[in-house]
Structures are given as C-alpha cells and as structure tokens.
Amino acid sequence: MRMFKNLLLFLPITFLFFSINTFAQSVFEKAAKDPLEVHGNFNLNSQYYLTDSAIQAPTVPEQFLMNGYANVIATKGAFSAGARYESYENALLGFDPRFQGSGFPYRYFSFDNKGLNVTVGNFYEQFGTGLLLRSYEERDLGLDNAMDGIRVKYDLGNGIRVKGLVGRQRFYFAKGDGIVRAIDGEVNLNEKFESLKDKKLKLTVGGNFVSKYQEDNDPNFKLPENVGAYSGRLSSRYGNFSFTGEYAYKENDPSADNGYLYNPGQGLFLSASYSQKGLGINLSAKHIDNMSFRSDRTEGLNNLTINYLPALTKQHTYNLAATLYPYATQPTGEIAYQGDVVFKLKKKTWYGGKYGTRVMLNGSLAYGLDSTRLNDLGGKRKGYTTKFLSPGQQEYFQDINVTVERKLNKKFKLKTMYMNMMVNNLITRYSGLNGSFKGKIYADIAVLDVMYKIKPKHAVRAELQGLWSDQDMGDWGTLLIEYTYSPHWFVAVMDQYNYGNPIKDNQIHYPYATFGYINGGNRVAIGAGRQKAGLFCVGGVCRVVPASNGVTITVTSSF
C-alpha cells in the first residue's frame, strides 16, 4: 500500500514536467525580447553589547553580534530567478543561536507562460487565510519556513486557479525532516458562470488539501507518518459588505505541541466587513482546536510551522502596548473574537474640527476551549472533547482600545490612544524583570502623540505613554521626542521608566537614543542605550526579546 501511495505521489511531479515541456519553447522566444531587470535589497542589524546586570541583560561573550540579509532578484520576460544571502556572525540576542554562520538559504527560479507558473527551489505560499498552509518570512521574528521544492500555479481560465506544491521547509541553514505536499483550488463563480457575471454578489470558493510525511521512529507510540488536513473557504462581496470564512480539519497529528494526543484538529475563521466613505466595520471570530501543524512533530518555537493561525488581536504600535503584554495565538486551542470600527467625524463641525477627526474603536477577546478531559492517555490518547464554538471558562486575553486622531491646524497634529487590557499570564507565561507573574495581569494604557511642524522640512513629534497596573511590574511611563529634518535626517530620544515596580531595585530607567540618515533607498541608523525585555509579535506570532544595553547599527538599502 505504501509503495502504491509513493507512486501516486510521484505523479504530480511528472505532470508538472510535462506541462513545462509544452510551454518552454514559446517562453524562451518571448523572454529574448524583454529587458533584463535586476532588483534587490540589503538589511544589516547589528549591536555592540554592554554588560548591564541591573536589567538582567545576558552576557554576550562576542560583544558584537550581527544579522545580515541581501536579496537579489533578476527578471527577464517570463523568467525570474533570485537568491538571498544571510549572515549571522553570531545571531543577535533573542534570535535562535542555530542561526549561525552564512550562506544562501533561499534561491529559486521561476517562469510564467499562458497561465502556468512554475517555481523550482525556494518559495513562499499561502492557501486561503493560511489555516492550513502559510509559508512566509518574518525576519524580525526569526521566522522563515520557506519551502524548498517545486510549485506549480495554473490559471485555467474562467476563474479557475489551481496550485500544487511539494517540498521541505527551511530549518535554520538546513531543511526539516518532513515533506509537505499540498494542492489548492479556487473558483471565482462570477467568472466561471455567465449567468453570475454581472451580479452584484461576488463569490469565490476554494479548497485545499495539505499532507505532510515524516518517518515514525518513535519508540513510545505508533505515529501516523502521513498526516492530512483539508479546508474549504468562501469569500464574498455584496456592495459595501464582504465576508470571508474558512473551515479546516486536520487528521490525527500527535506532536510535542499537543503532548502526543491523537485527536483531530479543527479551525474556523470568520470575518465580515462593511465599508463606506468615512466608516469601516469589521467583525471576526475564530475557533482553534489542536491546530498546531508542523512538518516535524518534535519541533517547537516558530520552527517548521506549515500553517498560520490568524491573530484576532490588534497589533499595537506604541511601545508599551506592543511589547509588554501582547497576546500570542494559542495553537492548541482558543476561541477569539474581534471587532473594529473606524469612522471619520465630519470636518468643519464642532465635533470633527476644521480638518475632521478619525476615530478607531477596537475590542478583542480570547478564551480557552470548552472542553472535557478524557482519561485515556493509556488508550486512544484523544485527551479531551470540545464543544465547537463554545468558549470555555478560562479567559486568556482582553483588549478594548480607542484611538482618536485629529489635525488641529496646519502645524499641529494630535493622536491619543486609550487601552484597557487583561492578559492571563498562566497561559502566556510572560516572564519579566520580576520573574513570572502567576495570574491575570490587568493594565490601562494611555498615549498622547503630538506632532508639530516647526517650518517646512522640520518637524518634531512627542509621545507620552503611561501604563498602569497593580500586577506584575506595576506602572510604566515612556517619553519619546523625535526631530525630523526631511527628507534625510532624524534624531530621537526616549526614556522608559518602570517607576511603579513593586521591587524597588527594579524601578529602572531605560534611556535610548537614535540618530539616522535616509537617502533614496538607503537608510542608516545608529542607536544607543538600554532596551527592556519584552515580546515582539507580528500577527500573533511572538519572539522573546531579552533586555540589552549597547549600541545598535542598522543599515537598509534597496535597488
């Protein structure tokens, strides 16, 4: 049976190469006429570390650490090829030390012809919302689960698009153990059916199947070597309304993440929006149960994730709100809701002011699952049962925030934000300078952000932030002043002060200054000072950033 399966799995690759042959000749002819274009970018992040025991900054024997990246992409007609060079000598603190050394972990070649796109080498891909497959790079998180293999995308016309891929995922400078095979199909019903062509209701349906293979050499359990998962999705628009939904189901996938349970996983993501001039509303909900999906069942952290579980929390940008108590999606199980309302108060009214006022309201809630434990760890190892779409007793996270933005006159612009939040630290297990707080952390955060244009090209911006909490590290204050001389220069100074820390010795200042120069596609910035420990999150995926003191140098360039 296994041999039969392997034979069947070989077929898609054969199909791909036959397709390539058919179109190759015309592709070459077209490319000969097109010019060669080369683009790329470069990014260097480095830091010289100083010893600072007051903030528990880890000792760095090398003193200087650096992460460097350079992308080069060349296109000629339908052909495209590219590579990325990465260098970690050694990796910055907070990045996994397995990022060590230099090399080309990403390179690819692709071509397009008559609706067919073929990529060999590395590629990124996402099916639907990513519930089952999202291969992407977020280098600030140290996350890169790029595929290495073959991908074919085929636009069959009439609104039908198919994608298929086979590959292994990047694991630092190597590849993971597991093989990922996936196929996705999408039909735009308005394009497919003549009768729906001019209808106001726009509908697209899609579905995908993702399978991973990893050898079972576990002495404790009989493990499924092939784990399959499938999903269906719908995306629709009717005038100002739009709706997106996706449901995914994953077969038994025992792994280190779920404690080697054999229960299936399921995920549902729903999002509805309404928008008109001056008003936007979005409501989203999700149910996630046992949906961690990796191409290596033994891995942890952000390693070798096949899928992405969309975050239903606002990604804050102000430092205290963004880095102290952000929420990371819980792949083993959660139910979450989010509501967003953005509206503009009319200009030249008493309530909207001369230029109008933008108001953003946002609220999000996350709960554990409503589950019942099964006493079967010595038997079928399903672990628990869950009531679908029913939130459990345990509240994980809550955030209610409002942002108001108003231009007062030609020189002044004002932005304020208030946020009330709760994070259950028994779940998030955030560990700060005082150790790990056990229980719920409640906090209020307020921000005042003022920008003043002194004269043409010269502007100064000030941020005053406060966080008040009776738990964990107590109260914080932040002051930032930034001066910009457009379009080339900027300088900023910031101080964060944990003035309300219940431990007197931990009432620490974190001063930091940055200076930078921008010219076209080049940007050079130098910073110096203390940076507090915290979490850096993008879309509900987080990385722990340890405290540090020192000088940072950042260079970016694109061409």
| Residues making contact with other proteins (CB under 8 A) | 5, 8-9, 11-12, 15, 53, 56, 58-61, 96-98, 154, 156, 162, 164, 181-183, 185, 209, 211, 213, 217-228, 251-252, 254, 256, 260, 262, 298-301, 303, 375, 377-378, 380-381, 429, 431, 435-436
Residues 335-349 as b or e (16 or more Cβ within 10 Å = b): bbbbbbbbeebeeee
Q: Nearest distance from residue 221's CB to other proteins, in Å?
A: 5
Q: Nearest distance from residue 512's CB to other proteins, in Å?
A: 22
Q: How far apart are CA 358 and CA 374, in angstroms?
A: 50
Q: Which is nearer to other proteins, 12 or 466 (CB)?
A: 12
Token look-up 């399921």 returns 266
Q: Which is nearer to other proteins, 106 or 154 (CB)?
A: 154
Q: Which is nearer to other proteins, 261 or 336 (CB)?
A: 261
Q: Which is nearer to other proteins, 79 or 88 (CB)?
A: 88
Q: Nearest distance from residue 506's CB to other proteins, in Å?
A: 13
Tally the residues of the chain: 559
Which pair of tokens denotes residue 247? 């449901």
Q: Which is nearer to other proteins, 66 or 400 (CB)?
A: 66
The DSSP annotation for 111-128 comes to EEETTEEEEEEEE-EE-T
Backbone angles phi, psi at 426, to 5 degrees: -70, -20
- End-to-end CA distance of the chain: give it in Å, rounded: 52
Identify the CA nearest to 364 among candidates 410, 313, 318. 313
Contact 362, 445 (CB under 8 A): no
Q: How far apart are CA 514 and CA 530, in angstroms?
A: 12
Which pair of tokens denotes residue 440? 């719920």
Q: Nearest distance from residue 538's CB to other proteins, in Å?
A: 21
Q: Nearest distance from residue 258's CB to other proteins, in Å?
A: 11
Q: Nearest distance from residue 372's CB to other proteins, in Å?
A: 15
- Strand runs labelled E in 101-199: 101-113, 116-123, 125-126, 134-135, 137-138, 143-144, 147-157, 160-171, 174-188
Which pair of tokens denotes residue 369? 């699952």
Q: Which is nearer to other proteins, 15 or 241 (CB)?
A: 15
Beta carbons within 10 angstroms of residue 539's beta carbon: 18
Backbone angles phi, psi at 342, to 5 degrees: -125, 125
Q: Nearest distance from residue 356's CB to other proteins, in Å?
A: 48
Q: Nearest distance from residue 112's CB to other proteins, in Å?
A: 17
Rg of the chain on CA atoms, in Å: 26
Contact 399, 421 (CB under 8 A): yes
Q: Nearest distance from residue 203's CB to other proteins, in Å?
A: 20
Q: Which is nearer to other proteins, 202 or 440 (CB)?
A: 440
Q: How far apart are CA 258 and CA 251, in angstroms?
A: 13
Q: Nearest distance from residue 194's CB to other proteins, in Å?
A: 18
* Number of Cα atoms under 13 Å in the Cβ half of residue 548: 19
Q: Which is nearer to other proteins, 123 or 437 (CB)?
A: 437
Identify the CA nearest to 335 among candidates 419, 255, 267, 429. 267
Q: How far apart are CA 218 and CA 92, in angstroms?
A: 34
Its sign, for the CA torsion 348, 351, 355, 356, is negative
The DSSP annotation for 327-357 comes to ----TTEEEEEEEEEEEEEPTTBTTTBSS-E
Identify the CA nearest to 112 among candidates 30, 191, 192. 30
Q: Nearest distance from residue 192's CB to other proteins, in Å?
A: 12
Q: Which is nearer to other proteins, 6 or 276 (CB)?
A: 6
Q: Nearest distance from residue 269's CB to other proteins, in Å?
A: 22
Q: Nearest distance from residue 30's CB to other proteins, in Å?
A: 22
Q: Which is nearer to other proteins, 173 or 260 (CB)?
A: 260
Q: Which is nearer to other proteins, 177 or 399 (CB)?
A: 177
Q: Which is nearer to other proteins, 38 or 256 (CB)?
A: 256
Q: Which is nearer to other proteins, 112 or 299 (CB)?
A: 299
